[in-house]
Amino acid sequence: MNTTRDPALLTALMEAAADAVIVADRTGCILRANPATGKLFGYGDGDLIGQKVNVLMPEALASLHDTFMEHHLKTGERRIIGSGRNVEGKRQDGTVFPLHLSVGRADIDGQILFIGILHDLTERHMADEVLARSQRLDAVGQLTGGIAHDFNNLLTVIIGNLELLQMRGADARQRGLIDDALASAELGADLTSRLLVFARKGNLKPVLVDLREQCQNALALLRRTIGARYTIRTDFADTVGKVMIDPVQLQSALINLALNARDAMPDGGEFLISIADVIIDDDYMAQETDIVPGSYVRLFISDDGAGMTLEAQRRAFEPFFTTKADRGGTGLGLAMVYGFVRQSGGHITLYSELGHGTSFGLYFPIVRETQDAGEAIASVMPTAIPRGSAEVVLVVEDNPRVRKLSIERVRDLGYKTLEAANGDDAYVLLQSGVHIDIVFSDLVMPGTLNGYDLAAKIREEFPDVRVLLTSGYASDVVTSKLGGTKRYDVLHKPYRQSDLAKRLQALL
């Protein structure tokens, strides 16, 4: 049997193909088209037979197609024959979409036939766009986190010096100036903390919660915040899985999203907040390729407002990008939401159409009841700042200004001090046999030993020495990056004098 000419075999092959397959003559007239072709381009069975292949092309390409074919037939030049290229196709409804086209030629009984295989690239383009957006935000997040960390060091110096001035007998006029300066420095610290949330380096305090209960708690505040012209509808599933999130950050995220939606509906409108479990699998991955498969609780916040442009959607989560600069927008709201969700192990999606509204999807991984949800630690702090009794504190800090200030702050609390510029120098000092009660060390330092490495050596070789670590980064981030564990408490920069005093006293 000559299988190359068996019409039944050819029909079976074409019908089995997932990609579109078209057979056309030398004039571009379609002789055969498999069912996948009709499905891809929106035509019914047999509708394409007898039509020119130009009908499947955008106008610019369609007008050139006949010229390309004539040139090939006259010269034999195989510009596209036997190779593939990316082109655009046009569906019956006029929409244009990306394709990969492979063209082959067959000479059968003196008749020239062209076979085209067309693969839809829409999903691949979506995947590339999602990946590019994620990579761009990751790069911006790394830069933002580094800048915020450096600013935290500067703010630590500013706040610390102001507090020392305040504690050393400033008069009433000076105290007023110091209080104003401290308040401004605290605002700066708040800004860097928001930037760190975007960079996924914020200091989250996650607990195991039911997302429906947390949203219900936020609804009363939301209704007061957005005003009477807006209606909030809820659609909560009867049962949902538990998730591990920071309730305060969730409430902040909901408020940010609600205020954004309100601004998109200046004449009033409707919000919908829905919560349900969802399983992310291969079918769902076709649309959202940046999310890890698994079981999630999905929180949808939708509005029927003006919608967002494609450019606004592309840059929505970037810090300082805002479409409301004339109304005081900072461009940090959605950036914080993005960072909070991603740092919580989740994923965020954005869908919007101009004139129809916007919908944000927040996906949080479900935590099994048998998993360790962590323990909440409650402590009662005394109102007075606790002081030391001449205990020796070794201050380990590579930044000279921060080290100088830290020494001053520790001495002001009644301790004696030693200093080291990095973990290696601190370890040498410990080995020398000098008496040290507490090592107060930064986490990220040059040299062989970072803060966690130094703490581990102290735990093993000098068990009587206590350790307090500090960093401008959040402990959950530096733990994974530096190979540490959660056995060591971390004092986050910038900190107040009272925070330092309480931490040192707790170690003793």
Q: Are 270 and 321 part of one and the same domain?
A: yes
**Both structure tokens of 39:** 């499905």
Q: Are 194 and 212 part of one and the same domain?
A: no
Q: For tokens 């290696």, name the residue.
A: 424
Helix residue ranges, H only, 81-121: none
Q: Are 402 and 355 part of one and the same domain?
A: no
**Both structure tokens of 447:** 């040299």
Domain end among 143, 178, 198: 198
Q: Are 293 and 144 part of one and the same domain?
A: no
* pLDDT by 10s per residue, the chain, length 508: 444 456 777 778 887 888 889 888 888 888 888 988 888 898 888 888 888 888 888 877 766 776 677 766 667 666 666 667 888 888 888 888 888 888 878 887 778 888 888 888 877 766 666 555 555 555 555 555 555 666 667 677 777 777 787 777 777 778 778 777 777 777 666 656 555 554 444 456 788 889 998 888 778 667 766 777 788 888 888 999 999 888 877 877 887 788 777 877 878 888 888 888 888 765 444 344 467 778 889 888 888 787 887 777 777 777 655 655 444 444 556 777 887 788 788 888 887 777 777 888 888 999 876 544 443 323 333 346 888 899 999 999 988 877 888 888 899 899 999 999 999 999 999 999 999 999 999 887 888 998 889 999 999 999 999 999 987 544 444 444 445 555 666 777 656 788 788 889 988 8
497: which residues sit within 8 A by CB, 6+ positions away? 160, 163, 164, 167, 385, 409, 412, 413
Evaluated on CA atoms 289, 290, 291, 292, the torsion sign reads: positive
The kind and range of the H/E element at 181 are helix 172-198
201: which residues sit within 8 A by CB, 6+ positions away? 145, 148, 149, 343, 473, 474, 477
Residue 375 lies in a domain: no
Q: Are 34 and 108 part of one and the same domain?
A: yes
Q: Are 194 and 50 part of one and the same domain?
A: no
Residue 378 lies in a domain: no
CATH value at residue 470: 3.40.50.2300
187: which residues sit within 8 A by CB, 6+ positions away? none
CATH value at residue 310: 3.30.565.10
Mapping DSSP to helix (H, G, I), strand (E, B) and coil, where does residue 207 land? strand
Q: Are 173 and 285 part of one and the same domain?
A: no
Query: Whole-angstrom Cα distance, residue 406 to residue 44?
Result: 77
> Which residue in 131, 24, 155, 40 sits closest to 89, CA to CA?
40
Query: Whole-angstrom Cα distance, residue 416 to residue 414?
Result: 7
Could you list the residue range(s) of the whole structural domain that residue 146 is in? 125-198
Q: Are 212 and 250 part of one and the same domain?
A: yes
Domain end among 176, 198, 220: 198
Residue 381 lies in a domain: no
> How many folded domains does the chain comprise?
4
Please give the pLDDT value at position 383: 47
Report how far apart, in Å, the C-alpha atoms of 422 and of each of 256, 398, 418, 449 are.
41, 5, 13, 8
Residue 386 lies in a domain: no
Query: Whole-angstrom Cα distance, residue 367 to residue 294?
Result: 11
Q: Are 111 and 160 part of one and the same domain?
A: no
> Which residue in 242, 246, 241, 249 sits closest to 206, CA to CA?
246
Residue 380 lies in a domain: no
User: Are the beta carbons of 39 and 17 closer than 8 angstroms?
Assistant: no
Residue 237 lies in a domain: yes
Instruction: Please tell me the chain's helix, strand, coil percentages from 3-state DSSP, rounded to the nearest 5.
Output: 45, 25, 30
Q: Are 131 and 234 part of one and the same domain?
A: no
Domain end among 174, 198, 222: 198
126 burial type by CB count under 10 A (0-12 exposed, 13-18 middle, 19+ buried): middle
115 burial type by CB count under 10 A (0-12 exposed, 13-18 middle, 19+ buried): middle
Q: Are 252 and 145 part of one and the same domain?
A: no
Q: Are 336 and 221 part of one and the same domain?
A: yes
CATH value at residue 42: 3.30.450.20
User: Are the beta carbons of 470 and 440 closer than 8 angstroms?
Assistant: yes
Q: b/e per residue, 315-328, with b = 16+ CB within 10 A?
A: bbbbbebbbeeeee
Residue 382 lies in a domain: no
Residue 328 lies in a domain: yes
Please give the pLDDT value at position 134: 57
